[in-house]
Amino acid sequence: MKTIWKNGNFYLNHGFVKGDLLAEDGIIREIGTVTSCDDAEIMDLEGKTTIPGLIDIHTHGAVGVDVNGADAEGFEKICRFFASQGTTGWLGSVLTDTREQTLWSIDQYKAWKKLPHKGAELMGIHLEGPFLCAEYKGAMPEHLLRKPDMELLKEYQEEAEGDIRYITVSPEVEGIPEFIPFMKNLGMQVAIGHSGADYDTARKAIRNGALGATHTGNAMKLLHQHFPAIWGAVLEDDDVFCEMICDGRHLHPGTVRFIIKMKGLDKVVAITDSIMAAGLPDGKYKLGVNDVVVVDGDAKLADGGSRAGSTLTTGQALKNVLEYTGRSLQEVIPMFTENPARLIGVYDQVGSLNPGKAANLVVLDEEYSVIRTYVRGEECWVKA
């Protein structure tokens, strides 16, 4: 099947080019000036801005579905909602849970892979824990945190058939820095977070291969002039990608600008850290084993009041970053596309509109709202 999107304003190689895009069997073949193919479906974009599909590598759910408790149909429900927000690929973030529930979540992910799909692609799994420190646990259930257990991690990855792509660990948990190469050999990219690690311990984790920082500045010991701590370590290092939740609650807009200035636009990854309340009104919800209350869109644990994820969507996060920074669309797009794809090792497949990659496209209106979403060349959402 061939499709030509004509008269588009396409984001390509950090700029915009006017022209056409040809996809065949869900893969981009040409971009620029494309001569019509007799057997191709023609879509006229009427000059609209068209960008690569957005990628969310840290989310716990949406529209009433919690990743830890989602069955296969629940995962598909999230996929279809995410497509309406411009997300074409995501990782299901499994909050620290029991071994049995974690394995169940992995099995439901595998069952989802066998369903017919019409929405964002669930690209794999992110384990947020269980090897985290109690002091900076955030919404993690403390009684389920554990010391490093590589046999357990190997069991999870074997059950997932290699699709656990990302894991969050705390560097100060005994043995974690030394185990990072093992995790990477299992096929997991490693992020550090939920941590009060000192600077040297965080640096050791980075030297051993940690490449991400989980929701930077949140559930993390903050920078002090005498004790730069984990936050100082991840801001300083040129290779580490820093996740950011840009909902105006987790980070002040000035902090967003500061992190971007420190890291550069190529080392910041916009995430939602959304929970099952995303896309729904205020009320009572779940995050893994936790009870959560959402008031004015702000999600907090019912017990203790700690912030518990967000109700953010990628489409809103894109608008927020534009507003907070005053930067151009072409400058901030990599935070939502290229950078997350590079971090989890899938940039050869997604994250840009270069030929050879999946035809994951998002069409925006003049206010940068999503009006159409395509996944592997198939239209999966259209604004009514």
Candidates 273, 291, 296, 298; catalytic one: 273
Which one, of 17, 90, 120, 86, lies nearest residue 364 by Cα? 86
> How many angstroms separate the Cα of 112 from the Cα of each of 106, 160, 299, 361, 378?
10, 12, 27, 22, 18
Q: Which two tokens stand for residue 306?
A: 């700690």
Instruction: Give the DSSP H/E element, type plus range, for residue 79.
Output: helix 72-84
**Is 171:206 a contact under the CB 8 Å cutoff?**
no
Pairing label, strands 164-169, 65-66: unpaired
The backbone torsions φ and ψ at residue 330, rounded to the nearest 5 degrees and listed phi first, read -65, -25
**Is 360:292 a contact under the CB 8 Å cutoff?**
no
> How many angstroms separate the Cα of 249 from the Cα of each of 181, 214, 253, 379, 384?
34, 16, 9, 33, 30
- d(CA 374, CA 112) in angstroms, rounded, equals 19
Q: List the end-to-end C-alpha distance of the chain, in Å, as a whole number.
A: 26
CA triple 210-318-10, angle to 5 deg:
100
Q: Which two tokens stand for residue 82?
A: 């995410």
- d(CA 284, CA 304) in angstroms, rounded, equals 15
261: buried, middle or exposed (CB in 10 Å: 19+, 13-18, 0-12)? exposed
Is residue 273 part of the annotated active site? The answer reads yes
The amino acid sitting at 378 is E
- d(CA 73, CA 373) in angstroms, rounded, equals 21
Residues forming the active site: 273
